[in-house]
Structure 1
Amino acid sequence: MAFHVVLLLLLLLLIHLAAAANAGGGSSGCIGAIFDDTSIAGKEEKLAMEMAIEDFVATASSSSPATARVELCTVSSNGGDPVRAASAALSLINDKGARALVGLHSWQDAAFVAEIGRRAMVPVLSFAAAAPSPATPFLLRVARANHARTMRAVAAVVASWKWRRVAVLYDDDDVIADLADALRAVGSEVERPIAVSSSSGGDAMRRSLADLVAGQCRVFVVHTSAKLAAAVFAEAAEMGMMDAGYVWIVTDAIADAVDSVNGDVISSMQGVIGVRNYNPVDTNSGKTKRLIARFRRRFRSQYPGAGDDDEEKTSGPHYPALLAYDTIVAVASAMEKINATTTTTTPRSPESGETAAAIKIAVSSKGNELMREIKNVNFHGVSGEFKFVKDSEFSPPERFQLINVAAPRYTELGFWSPEHGFCKNAAADIAGGGGCEATMRVLGPVSWPGKPWNVPRGWEPAKGNPFTVAVPEKAVFPDFVRVTRRRDDGGGGDGGEARFEGFSIEVFRAAVEHLPYHLDYKFVSFNVTYDSLMEHDHMKSYDILVGDTSISSGRYKFVEFSQPYTESGLVMVVPYKADLWNRSWIFLRPFSLSMWLVVIAVGLYNGIAIWLMERRYNSEYRNGGIWKHATTVFWLSFTTLLSPGERLRSSLSRVSMVIWLLVVIVLTTNYTASLSSLLTVQRLEEAVTAESLRASGSMVGCTNGSVVGKYLREVLLFPEHRIQRFSSDDDYRRAIVSGEVKAAFLRVSHAKLLLAKYCNELMITGPVYHVAGLGFVFPKGSPLLADISQAILEVFENGTIKRLETAMLSAYNCTAATVDAGDLYRLCPENYWGLFLMTLFASTASLTVYGVFFHHGNACGSGGEGGCYRKHGDGRKDSAMVDPGGGGAGAGHGDEALSSTSGSADHVVDTEIVVISMEMECELSACRHQQK
């Protein structure tokens, strides 16, 4: 603001000094041209405007003699100084009678000259990319510039290389908001805007650049005039800011002037990326070809040695010169149309607060008409379409061209448009975007400052040192992070070279490999707790913390976390206890004890009933001692559970057996279904939950220094005195297995590792509590955070983290001892060893008893006279052992024969035959035995 006030005072002083000048001016209409004769671009523009007025007069003089009176009045601004530009404008208006002013590439110059034009009612056509704010009614900007679109193009370049922060050097603060919005849309931001001015001395500019070097950001966007940019790059080259690691991006005002700046400026801008408006020139047009050839001849004649040293002819005219040519043609055409070539001026009325002497300036009587006609100009010139659109803005560019400054001048990289992104050539963009991409990488390699082909990362440590990566010296789970030291001398102590290993270390290394730039870092171990490092130090001593660090909202108050690199969640680990005895006798569990007693009682009752009913018809049920009768009853009672058993002869016993078989079918069916369900859903342990542990007052465990303890207190509501903290994985195993704690709460990743080591002693049970996983820690505002987080996502998606986790867990070959849930209740012999033991015991006991007590009592094999029967006193043998209703011919009517007591002759004969037959068989058997 102070700078503007000073310039305004100088302007009023110039107006006061020019008050005595002749207000009438010259004798003909004049177009005033203000140019910078200290640059090649200014010289090209001057020659192009001279040729334009010559061509216009030569073409139109035959049809309109008045046109011959249009002249070009040129004045140099001597380096583009605003005060000199304002003085030149006053001279052109008052001394030369200029009816329009053309030129001025900086908005500071245009701001002062526009004020003079407003007072004199003289249109001012400026080539400045930015118009002064607020704009005056007599100012027209002849520049294909759209700041919002230009900043979007710059943001697209920044996003292509994933730079997150940008510093801006500017002389027009109107662009800062547009650039900030464009960068925010691609995930970046303006870190530090620094204003520079041509009026600032070298010391001030050096201090501004030193402030940039002191920060971490190394991506600089320069939005100034070409002349000011040349001074910036010259100073930056001396300070070493054009070396490797720096990125410089310039906007259209500078990129357009690269064609015409001298070799010293080009040498100080090596590696700069320029974003400029793409203004296609039809070089195939005959008129354009003739103009270019004539221009080059005259330029070499007027300015010998000003062209390229390695060419016989200059490479101009460049686009600014062609635009200047068309601008003069447009103004001359408008003047001809309204006949503004005559000298008609009127005194200017004083404004409030001004003296009469300070306002004596020639005022054009046709200024408003001329301004209106210039806005309505529309033709196709040598620079392309020349017209003004809404709000008196010059037609904006449809696309932008990207250049890369490199010896001897620059390389054309490609093009960018909002619709199609980056394209290698303009034809692809115009045709519909075929071959275009959203990233600048499609344009090929870029020559960067200092080191041609390595993409700068966009930031550096404040002191240029490698990033320090903090690693805990002692971790609870060493498989995640471990620090070991090599002892060359074989002695003890902590000396020696440190080695950093573990799952977390490998994930970090994999993420660094996916960064789009090389990251120089070094590991440094520490011996304090995580919370001490984060909450007390705020990570000021380190750039990154790599370890099994839990992400929590409380820690976010002090530091920032990367994307989690492990599975999220909190689980409960309990001891693994398989009760083998209960599993062996699981076949008894489908029925309760009372049910088994009922089954046994009913079975015995039915056995006794059938025995009593069958005893009348079966001599085997009548003879023998108590042991024989008991075994017979037991046999009848329980063989029916598997089969109908003995063949029954009594109708009543058959009815009872049918009912019992029906009951047995129902019992066995329900037993089978119950046993199947039990084997499917049974668990080895009763369900353990946080609520049951809290209600029973049990001790629980967690990791020492972890945020899990806070979660147990505040969320699961465990009292502090019931929470025990552990510092090693072996402490966890010992406490859980011994019952010191009933359960331990761990992150999913830690629980997986614990079970991989002790899978036959520990198990996971209960729900998964939703908490964040493990991540890397960064200090607030770290430029590494976004890049590392994106790299972690990439290694997640390509399976690298999964492979690293599998390798860590498979190091403990505990899979052989792991019991699969499906194997716990599978029907195998070991599940029924109780049944087998009882069967073997019963068989062995029966054989032993038979061998000891009954083998020598065999009636038919003893050789005695008794044989198989017992004799009566009359010498007859007892036939009670004969089963009249049994096998043989009489089996079919045994009931009737045995029930009859009439003593009929036929029945007696039949009985005697049977008795004699059996006696003969017994004697024969006894004789054979004696022979043996």
Structure 2
Amino acid sequence: MVDDTSRAGKEEKLAMEMAMEDFTTTSGGDVGSSEVKGLCMMASNGDPVRAASAALSLINERGARALVGLHSWQEAAFVAEIGRQAMVPVLSFAAAASPSASSRRWPFLVRVARGQHAQMRAVAAVVGSWQWRHVAVLYEDVDNGGGVFPHLADALRVVGSEVDRRVPVPASPSGDALQRSLGDLMGGQCRVFVVHASPKVAAALFAEASRMGMMASGYVWIVTDAIAGAVDSLDAATVSSMQGVIGVRNHNSMDTNSKNTRDHLIARFRKRFRSQYAGDEDEDDQTRGPHYPALLSYDTIVAVAGAMQKINATAPTHATEPSSPNSGETIKIAVSSDGTDLLREVKRVRLHGVSGAFGFVDGEFAPPERFQLINVVEPRYTELGFWSPEHGFSKSEGGCGGGGGCNPSMKFLGPVIWPGKPWHVPRGWAPANGNHFTVGVPEKAVFPDFVKVTYQHGRDDPDFEGFSIDVFRAAVEHLPYPFHYKFVSFNETYDSLMELGHMKSYDILVGDTSISSGRYKFVEFSQPYTESGLVMVVPFRADEWNRSWIFLRPFSPAMWLLIAVVGLYNGVAIWLMERKYNADYRGGGIWKQVTTVFWLSFTTILSPGERLRSSLSRVSMVVWLFVLVVLTTNYTASLSSLLTAQRLEEAVTAESLRAGGGMVGCTNGSVVGKYLREALLFPEHRIRRISSDDEYRRALASGEVKAVFLRVSHAKLLLAKYCNELMTTGPIYHVAGLGFVFPKGSPLLADISQAILEVFENGTIKRLETAMLSAYNCTAAAAKDGDAGDLYRLCPENYWGLFLMTLFASTASLTVYGVFFHHDTGCGGGATGCHSKQVDGRKDSATVDPGGGGAGHVDEAPLSASGSVEHAGNDTEIVVISMECEITACMPQQK
């Protein structure tokens, strides 16, 4: 049963006739030796009633053992019921809505049509390659349209998309019906359409879509195998209206023998078709016919004839009477005695025919090994490549190993000609309010650095600035398609805009909007573009002392005084012990000696200072240097702490605020107030709503509120402006950050969220935030509390042991020196004693180190009375004239 009014139907009819002739030839040429008596043709032309009438005629009058044809599901359903009663297998080319349900209802129905599951996966792979989030499905308004939805919905869900809407198209569409169906699609935002219908309906559909301007730039059309497999047989006018359409059609690989058979068959077919249908053949188009449906019809006839020959059915058919007078069965139907055997044998068929692999798996027609993607362009279409469940997209029929490799994205196949021939890939949806997306921006924001709307004199359009605006613009630049938008200001609170349904007037809302679960009831949010969390801001308590003198803070005043006194004491002790051996420590008057003592005290604090000759002074200096090493180490640590640490006068927490009864603040219109009530348990009358950043500062400085709770991003800005007055304290409370707002179901949501992640990862948002905060060159002041640095100060009580140690060492050394070595016994007898000369090699007592550390050592070469160095052969005579000894010996005699 064929449709002899269409080109495809004529091709099928001719292909079936040729299949019967070839089968008869290969079976021995004797038709009478086979139960396959011949091929009976009747035209159904897509009419279910006519198809049912033809089936009854073929079974009752012509003794048909099997029925083949029927491309529409309506025809197949009518004829399948007759086949069930007549026990005659019905091989239909129509896909079933529910294969399992139809098999139970019509057991003799055999679908020679591929299952929809694999094909819908191929369609979803195309959609996912271009990241289209929503798809509208147009289907022929018969049962076969419903079968694709479960498979398509599941496959789209895997690639992150979903079915936006389903639009039925009448099986016999009129202009008005098509206008209503397509007009419904134009009113929505989705611009990706999947068409699953017969070629006849598709021709009328695309003609009307072209007339309505829906084949222009921005639209995407994808057709399934029912249309893509028959595109070769469509007339030139229909193909012209389908420019830019992507087709997904079944493709089966063929072995060498099958290819040779098909090539021979095609040559015979074209010659015979031109002979029978001269008016339908385009002589200039050598590629037309036979197409896949005709080739599949050829293999189907061969398969059924082979099955009939195997069972060698000889039992005649007989007509049935109504089971009872009131049964309602008024039509007699002949019942086949071997229909069950024939059905079983048909489902066992396995062959490599001219259409590819032909056979059934679990009673269903075997799915294709891969699908071919075509792009409808002048003069007919181009082959883009292939898709298979195992390898994804490939450029060759052989898959990954066939040259060119494979890839999970269709972009791998190269450029596609889209409807309207745009240079860019369609984004797959359009704004609800014209050609531009409407972006709402609040006129009054608590923090103008995030959102600011300013009106210039003489201009109608305001300027939109701020951190949130900059982030939105950066995200838009990362969208995979052009995004044309227009900012529109509004003078409402965020909650009123969302809860009253006014978001329907905007495609997106850009501002410092807090993400919260309560708002999700009315709108949807993008990925947060700021740091999440809630912090507490309190007045900053800084020290009053001048940071210019911070280097004095590590030690307390008493400590500094003690260091100076001990250092001076050590300097005096060392001066007394060293003056005997250093002329600079003896003469020059009192003022010079005082300055020498101070100089010696200062240098011994920083370094060993002068070279020491006395062992007693060296002992004192070693202990003092040890004390200085300890003091220096502690001084460095204390100074580092003072430079890097800050301390509150009193630790402030949410619990202490709640118990103390103080007021707390939050942003007016923010969801923070709800968090303070429900999570932190602050009563409503103790929560103050604040409407500007400067008001935050005034409220905290005046003590009207003890603390304010802000989003982390807002707190950073407030501290950047008033860093010498405010600071954060306490833990970070886990709440969501700031995000952009979308109406429910917005197709733009996923793309913007992905773009926000991209600008996060490339550092753009961080740079924008740094630029916003660095605009305020605020340097944190010192603490106002005079005792703030005491925690890190070092006091004498911590170091009494060290100071007692050095004082004891210096005092002990000085005492030993004064008792044993200060008085010169060699010079006490008079002046002549000062000039005694040691000619036996012994030193004068004045040259000997009183501490014993300089025994056997002469600091300077001894001089004679004339000032020259005396030598006596190999023995050196040393004459020491001690001026000190001479002065001390002679002055009493003169006095």
Query: TM-score scaled by structure 2?
Result: 0.77
What is the deviation of 1:151? 1.0
CA RMSD of aligned residues (A): 4.9
Which residue pairs with 2:266 in the alignment?
A: 292
Q: Which of 134, 137, 151 in structure 1 is aligned with 2:102?
A: 134
Which residue pairs with 1:527 in the alignment?
A: 491
Q: Is the 8 A contact 1:480 1:502 kept in 2?
A: yes
Which residue pairs with 2:137 in the alignment?
A: 168
Residues 95/632 of structure 1: CA separation in 2 closer, same or farther (3 Å cut): closer
Q: Which of 448, 452, 455 in structure 2 is aligned with 1:482?
A: 452
Q: Which of 321, 338, 345 in structure 1 is aligned with 2:294?
A: 321
What is the deviation of 1:61? 3.2
In 2, Cα distance between equivalents of 1:537 and 1:332? 66
Q: Does 1:378 align with 2:350?
A: yes
Which residue pairs with 2:15 in the alignment?
A: 48
In 2, Cα distance between equivalents of 1:911 and 1:532? 102
Q: Which of 117, 121, 125 in structure 1 is aligned with 2:83?
A: 117
Which residue pairs with 1:418 in the alignment?
A: 389
Q: Which of 121, 124, 139 in structure 2 is aligned with 1:155?
A: 124
Which residue pairs with 2:37 in the alignment?
A: 70
Amino acid across the alignment from 1:485: Y
Q: Is the 8 A contact 1:271 1:452 kept in 2?
A: no
Amino acid across the alignment from 1:52: A
What is the deviation of 1:460? 2.3
Secondary structure of residue in 2 paired with 1:176: helix
Which residue pairs with 1:616 in the alignment?
A: none
Which residue pairs with 1:271 in the alignment?
A: 244
Residues 415/578 of structure 1: CA separation in 2 closer, same or farther (3 Å cut): same
What is the deviation of 1:722? 5.2
Equivalent positions of 1:394-793 (< 5 A) are 394-427=365-398, 429=399, 431=401, 435-488=405-458, 496-537=460-501, 539-573=503-537, 579=543, 581=545, 671-682=631-642, 685-687=646-648, 690-691=652-653, 694=657, 700-718=664-682, 720=684, 723-734=687-698, 743-759=707-723, 762-793=726-757
Q: Is the 8 A contact 1:283 1:289 kept in 2?
A: no
Which residue pairs with 2:589 in the alignment?
A: none
In 1, Cα distance between equivalents of 2:667 and 2:637? 39
Which residue pairs with 1:839 in the alignment?
A: none
Give unmatched runs, 5+ long, in structure 2: 576-593, 784-792, 795-827, 835-842, 851-882
Amino acid across the alignment from 1:106: S
Q: Is the 8 A contact 2:258 2:352 kept in 1?
A: no
Per mean C-alpha deviation after superposition, the further-off stretch among 109-118 and 353-362 is 353-362
In 2, Cα distance between equivalents of 1:159 and 1:912? 109
Which residue pairs with 1:627 in the alignment?
A: none
Amino acid across the alignment from 1:379: L
Residues 451/486 of structure 1: CA separation in 2 closer, same or farther (3 Å cut): farther
Q: Is the 8 A contact 1:129 1:253 kept in 2?
A: no
1:270-307 alpha-carbon deviations (Å, 9 max, x no partner): 32221111134569844322221111011011111212
In 2, Cα distance between equivalents of 1:434 and 1:384? 24
1:29-77 alpha-carbon deviations (Å, 9 max, x no partner): xxxxx00011111100100111111122223234775139621100000
Amino acid across the alignment from 2:21: E
In 2, Cα distance between equivalents of 1:288 and 1:93? 32
Q: State the identity as a percent.
A: 67
Q: Is the 8 A contact 1:275 1:401 kept in 2?
A: yes
Equivalent positions of 1:206-355 (< 5 A) are 206-280=179-253, 285-308=259-282, 310-311=284-285, 313=286, 315-340=288-313, 342=314, 344-348=316-320, 350-351=322-323, 355=327
Which residue pairs with 2:777 in the alignment?
A: 814
Amino acid across the alignment from 2:777: C
Residues 352/240 of structure 1: CA separation in 2 closer, same or farther (3 Å cut): farther
Q: Does 1:193 align with 2:193?
A: no
What is the deviation of 1:316? 0.9
In 2, Cα distance between equivalents of 1:736 and 1:326? 87
Q: Is the 8 A contact 2:323 2:329 kept in 1?
A: no
Amino acid across the alignment from 2:150: A
In 2, Cα distance between equivalents of 1:517 and 1:912? 105
Residues 463/349 of structure 1: CA separation in 2 closer, same or farther (3 Å cut): farther
Q: How many residues align?
A: 799
Give unmatched runs, 5+ long, in structure 1: 1-33, 489-494, 612-629, 649-653, 822-830, 833-877, 896-909, 923-932
Secondary structure of residue in 2 paired with 1:581: coil
In 2, Cα distance between equivalents of 1:234 and 1:647? 110
Q: Is the 8 A contact 2:396 2:404 kept in 1?
A: no
Secondary structure of residue in 2 paired with 1:92: helix
Secondary structure of residue in 1 paired with 2:637: helix
What is the deviation of 1:323? 1.4
Per mean C-alpha deviation after superposition, the further-off stretch among 676-685 and 79-88 is 676-685
1:354-377 alpha-carbon deviations (Å, 9 max, x no partner): 648625221222212222222222
Secondary structure of residue in 2 paired with 1:74: coil
Q: Does 1:87 align with 2:53?
A: yes
Amino acid across the alignment from 1:305: G
In 2, Cα distance between equivalents of 1:798 and 1:746? 27
Amino acid across the alignment from 1:289: D
Residues 349/392 of structure 1: CA separation in 2 closer, same or farther (3 Å cut): farther
Which residue pairs with 1:38 in the alignment?
A: 5
Query: TM-score scaled by structure 1?
Result: 0.74
Secondary structure of residue in 2 paired with 1:705: coil
Secondary structure of residue in 1 paired with 2:504: coil
In 1, Cα distance between equivalents of 2:742 and 2:325? 61
Residues 354/160 of structure 1: CA separation in 2 closer, same or farther (3 Å cut): farther
Amino acid across the alignment from 2:439: V
In 2, Cα distance between equivalents of 1:339 and 1:322? 26
Q: Is the 8 A contact 2:270 2:290 kept in 1?
A: yes
Amino acid across the alignment from 2:218: G
Amino acid across the alignment from 1:293: A
Which residue pairs with 1:180 in the alignment?
A: 153
Residues 753/70 of structure 1: CA separation in 2 closer, same or farther (3 Å cut): same
Residues 677/727 of structure 1: CA separation in 2 closer, same or farther (3 Å cut): same
Q: Is the 8 A contact 1:70 1:332 kept in 2?
A: no
In 2, Cα distance between equivalents of 1:647 and 1:458? 90
1:387-412 alpha-carbon deviations (Å, 9 max, x no partner): 222x2122210111112222332222
In 2, Cα distance between equivalents of 1:786 and 1:96? 62
Which residue pairs with 1:862 in the alignment?
A: none
Secondary structure of residue in 2 paired with 1:249: strand
In 2, Cα distance between equivalents of 1:263 and 1:644? 107
Q: Is the 8 A contact 2:441 2:487 kept in 1?
A: yes
In 1, Cα distance between equivalents of 2:264 and 2:553? 108
What is the deviation of 1:97? 1.1
In 2, Cα distance between equivalents of 1:921 and 1:124? 156
Q: Is the 8 A contact 2:665 2:708 kept in 1?
A: yes
1:529-552 alpha-carbon deviations (Å, 9 max, x no partner): 222222334523322111122222
